[in-house]
Structure formats: structure tokens, C-alpha cells
Amino acid sequence: MFAPTIQMQHVLIQALTEDLPKISVALADVGIFDPDKRSVDADKFPVVPGDKYKQLFNQASSRMEKIAEILNLEPLPMVKKVRVVEESELARINSWLGDIWATASSYEEQFRHLKDEETLINQREDSLENFANLRVDLGLLQGDKKFLNLFIGTVPHNNVAQLQEALGLARHLLYTFSVNSNATGVIIAGPRDAKGELTSILQAAEFRALPVPPDLRSHPENIRQEISDQRAALVLKRQKVNQQLQNWGNSLHKELEDAQRSLVLAEPYVRLDVAMRSAGSLSAVTGWVPKKELPKLETTLNEQLTAPFILTTRSPKHDERTSVPTVMQRSKFFAAFQDLICQYGVPRYGEIDPTPIFALTFILMFGVMFGDVGQGAIFALLGGFIWWKKPKLKSIGQFITYIGISSVIFGFLFGSIFCFETIIPHLWVSPMHSIDYMLMAALVFGMVFVVVMSLISIYNHIAMNEPLEALFGHHGVASLVFYLAAAAGLYSIATTGEFGLIPTILLIGSFTTIFAYSWYEMHDAGFDEKFLVGTIGGLEIAMGYVSNTLSFLRVAAFSLNHAALAGAIFAIADATGSSGYWPSIIIGNIFIIVLEGGIVLIQTMRLEYYEGFSRYYFGDGKEYVPIKLRTATES
């Protein structure tokens, strides 16, 4: 259950250079080979073959992608027969796709022109909206008038009456029309000789000019009809072009599907990249394969290669752990939590799989902090619905279901259902009536959590062949002994009033060991620097363990907070009287589910990431990505 990630083997395949395309297809067909891009054996095999092949493939793939987008092609077809795509065939496909793209791009250009035409129609319609309530030929409002001042624009509603009065004194007329809720449209007309006087009046009224676009040269109703006719014509044009494109695409359907299949078969040769090298007629391909899959790989190569080849395997070296791809053992029960782990980082090859311990502690802590039968049941039902009805969100549904069930279980233990704590009896403890007990339980849980995380850290360092770090490192054996000795001494003080001899000896011995290791690491530094760094390093470890442990008091704090919020809801409900009691209870429960549920999720994640992962999890691994034939199910 807590086993390390799946064991991997480094694979070296030596064969004739002319067989490289066959090897690439065979490796993709078996689907377990992750290419090693570190150019292993580059001194013996200096050439990376297939440059022209890669160029042809990349160009053809780019053209196919654009053609597929224009023609709205269906997902990649299944490969009917595994075969090698020669360079000459790939060149022919690329050239043909170039011709197809030339025609497809002409359709794309037509659609672009239609889009531009639609944009212009929309702009004209938007402009018309400003003058939609005018019953005037808009052409009469355009251009300068020889004997007439003519202004069209908007002013704030509150300034209309004042403006009209001032314009009357300036021998101008005002006509209003509706524009929007913030301003009134106005048309101002009067003798041209009063323009200077009019400028200050318009400024005082906060007048903003509203120019009439040149393409609006008729009555608004007539223009609206013109726009409607233009839209109808545009729809017909688009339908015509779409039909032509569809007919053309249908005529090419089989050829395009064959080209897609050929590109699928050509891709593995390109994906091998620098993991495939050659020296004259001899070539080598290097990569990683799960150890248990090696027989399957050898069988496939024997079946698909007629020429002789040499298959050599070895275990990973300690200095290449970060280069070995990690294959996590996929768990149906913990799938949702594996996704959360990978959000933090991919496990380094060989370190312990954190999924089970992460999932169990996450579920446990959430339940303690959000223990309520009714609210937890809502989470569980919601998660179950998503899990069952939304296959693409299955892991999210699984996650919500698990934390909901945990909340229900602790709801029974705490005796809480929809914030009511008197309907069902508590099977364990009532948090608000046992505050000291809850704080102590959280502290003990935190200590156990920290110890387990430290033990995993020690194991991981041993697996990485880092014995000194496992013994004397920040989360090594010496640090763990220091922590346990301090905890035992403090417990002894609480019970007997004395720290105790054994805890004192272990505490001093472990601190001295940590100090000595720090001193050893800084062998080139001076005495003062060694002493200062060693002392500060030891104190940092001590304070880190203390702060990590105290962080788990928030588990108890949030369980108490949950009960306190429930009390606040009932206080509000009682204050609203009989008519508002149940609405207040319902709204309060919704508030707790949404707000506190989200906060508890964040706090649980924080404890896992910062108090757990930061202690033992490297998270700098390389994801296992084997080359495969990319078909419809994997595109």
C-alpha cells in the first residue's frame, strides 16, 4: 500500500540505422517506452538521425491541424494497421497537404471577409441606437450649414431645463430625444452669428457631441430596415460558403483520414528525438521501461524486427534518480488524491508513494474540522452525483464524497446534525464542552503526524543513497531523536515536575550530533562562522519541529469554530422570532457549508503541503510519458 513507485529499467537498443523507423513504430505500438533525452552514449553515436523527416512531419502536422480546424474534422481515426511511414511517403503527404491548405486558406479568407462585413453591420447598428428615437432624416444633421448652428449630442438629465432656458436667451431651439438612462439626447439649432456665445453655454451644461456617422443618411426606420436586409444577405452568403466548404471537405474525407493515420504512424520516429542516435550503419535508442514490462518489450521487438538487434537493460544509477521517469501505482480508491499530489509535484523515482498517507490524513483532518452529519451528507450526495453523472469530473466527485463521508462520521462522534447538537447524542466528545481535550488530541495527532513524516523522510533519503542526510539532515534520525526527547521531557515535567535524565541525555546528544554535522559540512569556514551556523541550524530545527506541531492545533480550533458558528446561527434564529427561525437556520447552514467548508479545505491542504510534504516529499520527479500511437482516445 505504501510501496515506492514502480521499478524502472534503463533500456539500450542497438540495431541497424535503416531499422530505426521500424523500431520507433514497434515502441509506440507496445506503449511502454519513455525516451531518454539525455543523449546517452553520444560519444559512441554522435549523429541524431532523421532531421529532414522531422521537418517534413512538423510541417505536415501543422498543415493538417489548420485544415482540420477549418473543415471541423472528427478526432484522429484509429490506426487499422501498424506500419512504417517512409520519408518519401511523408514528403508526398506534406506536399499534398500544402495544396489542400492553399484551397482551405481561401475559404478561411472568405470567412474573414464575412466576419469583417458583420462587424461593420454591428457597428452601424450600434451607432443607430443613439438616434433610434429620432424621427428625422439623419442626413439633414450632417455637415456644416451656411446660415445655421446645428449641434447634436447629450447632456445630463438634470441640466436639460437649465440648458433650454439659456438657449432661449441665445435665440436657439432645443429638441430632446431619449438616448440612455444617464443622459438625454439633444438637437440644438439657431442663427450662426451666435456661435461664440453658445460655446460657453454648452460647456456649462456638460454637453457632449454625438457625431452622426456618414453611413447613416436616412430616417432611422429606413436604416434599420437596410441593416436587417444586410444581415439576411450576409446569412445567405455564409450558408453558401459553408455548403461549398462542406462539399469540398466531404470529397477529401478518405484522403484526409489516410493522411491523419500516416501522421499518427510517423509521430513516434519524431518523438524519439535525441534518444535515437547513430554512427554510420549502427544506431542506438535509449529510454526507460517499467521492469515488469521488459518481457513484453522484448517480445514485441522480436516479432516486428527481422534484422538482428541487441537489447541491454540495467537498473537506474543513484546519480540519475531525478532523470528516471516516475510511474505511480494508480489507485481507483485514491485517484482524486493522486491528482492533488501531482499538483504539488511528481514524486522522485524511488521515493515512497505518498498517496495513501496523504489521502487518509486529509480525510481524517477534514472530518474533525467539519464534523456534521447533515452538512457532511450534502457533501457526500453532491460528490456521489458528480462521480456517477459526470465521468470527466469523476476524481472531483470521488474527493467530495470521501470528505463528506468523513464529515458524517465525525458528526456522529461529535453529536452534530445541521448544527443541532441536541438531536443525536455524541458518540465520542462534544467539542465545545471539551475544549482542553480537543486541543490535546490535536497536539497528539500533530506529533504522530510529524513523526511519521520524518520516518518517511529518513526512508526516502536512504532510498536516494543519502545516508548522511538520513542520519543528520534537517528531518533525519538525529532531528527526530531531538524532537522525541524534547516531547518526552516536557511530558515528564507535566507529570513529575522534572525533565528526566534520559530525555536530557538524548536531547543534548542529538543537538550535539546536529551541530557536529553542520560543523563538518562547513569544513572550509572559520571557527566563528562554523559555531554560529551550527548553533542557529540546531535552533532552527528545534523551532521548526515546535511550530510544525503547534500548527495542528488549528484542527481542534476549526472543530470548535464549527460549533461556535452553529451557536451564532441559533442566536440569530432565536432573535428573528418564529417566522424567521427556520429560514435563518437554512441560510446559516448554507453559509457554513459554502464558506467554512472552503476554508477547512484550504487549511487541510495547507497542513498536508507545508507540515507534511515539505518534510519528506521531494516532488521534483519526471513524469512517465511513453511514446504511443496517438489515436482518438488519446488526442
Per the listing, cell 516486428 goes with 304
Q: Where are the beta strands (DSSP E) in 388-510?
A: none
**Three-class secondary structure of residue 418 per DSSP:** coil
Integer angstrom CA distances of residue 610 from 336, 349, 540, 545, 605: 20, 21, 16, 12, 8
- Output the nine-digit C-alpha cell for 123: 457597428
Give the C-alpha distances (Å, rounded to integers) separating 193 from 49, 146, 310.
85, 11, 101
pLDDT at residue 123 is higher than 70: yes
pLDDT greater at residue 494 or residue 179: 494
Q: How far apart are CA 525 and CA 230, in angstroms?
A: 83
pLDDT at 178 over 70: yes
100-109, 201-210, 417-426: least confident range: 201-210
Question: What pLDDT score was predicted for residue 195?
Answer: 57
Using CA atoms, how far apart are residues 40 and 42, in angstroms rounded to an integer? 5
Q: What is the pLDDT of residue 5?
A: 67
Structure confidence at residue 392 (pLDDT) = 84
Cell of 424: 443525536
pLDDT band at 529 (very low <50, low <70, confident <90, very high): confident
Q: Look at residue 24 in the predicted model and tell me its pLDDT.
A: 94
Please report the pLDDT score of residue 631 as a whole number. Answer: 64
Cα-to-chain-centroid distance, residue 451: 32
pLDDT at 262 over 60: yes
Give the pLDDT of residue 534. 73
What cell was used for 76? 484522429
pLDDT (mean) for 282-288: 93
Amino acid at 51: D
Of 367-376, 472-481, 518-527, the range with the highest mean pLDDT is 367-376
Q: What is the pLDDT of residues 17-36, one digit of tens each?
A: 999 999 999 999 999 999 99
Give the pLDDT band of residue 128 (cuts 50, 70, 90).
Answer: confident
C-alpha 390 chain-centroid distance: 19
CB burial of residue 116 (10 Å; 0-12, 13-18, 19+): exposed
pLDDT at 635: 42
Please give the mean pLDDT across all residues of the chain.
87
Q: What is the dihedral of CA 360, 362, 364, 370, to 10 degrees?
A: -160
For helices 394-414 and 335-344, angle between their N-to-C axes, nearest 10 degrees: 100
Give the type of residue at 401.
T
Query: By C-alpha distance, which of 196, 166, 194 is closest to 186?
Result: 166
**Does residue 129 register a pLDDT over 80?**
no
| Count of residues making up the chain | 635
- Assess whether pLDDT exceeds 80 at residue 193: no
pLDDT band, residue 93 (cuts 50/70/90): very high
Residues 561-616 pLDDT 10s: 888 988 899 999 988 888 889 999 999 999 999 999 999 999 999 999 888 888 78
Q: What pLDDT, on the 0 to 100 scale, is given for residue 352? A: 83
Mean pLDDT of 380-386: 95
> Is the per-residue pLDDT at 2 higher than 70?
no
For the chain, the domains span 8-101+248-326, 143-211
pLDDT tens per residue across span 450-475: 999 999 989 888 888 888 889 988 88
- Highest mean predicted confidence (pLDDT) among 97-101, 184-188, 388-392, 472-476: 97-101
Stretch (H or E) spanning 616: helix 614-616
Cα gap 585→587, rounded to integer Å: 6
Asked if residue 1 has pLDDT above 50, the reply is no
CATH T-level fold of 143-211: Alpha-Beta Plaits (3.30.70)
With cut-offs at 50, 70 and 90, classify the pLDDT of residue 325. Answer: very high
Question: Which amino acid does the sequence have at 562?
Answer: H
What pLDDT does 576 receive?
Answer: 87
pLDDT band at 633, cuts 50/70/90? very low
Which residue is it, cell 515512497?
352
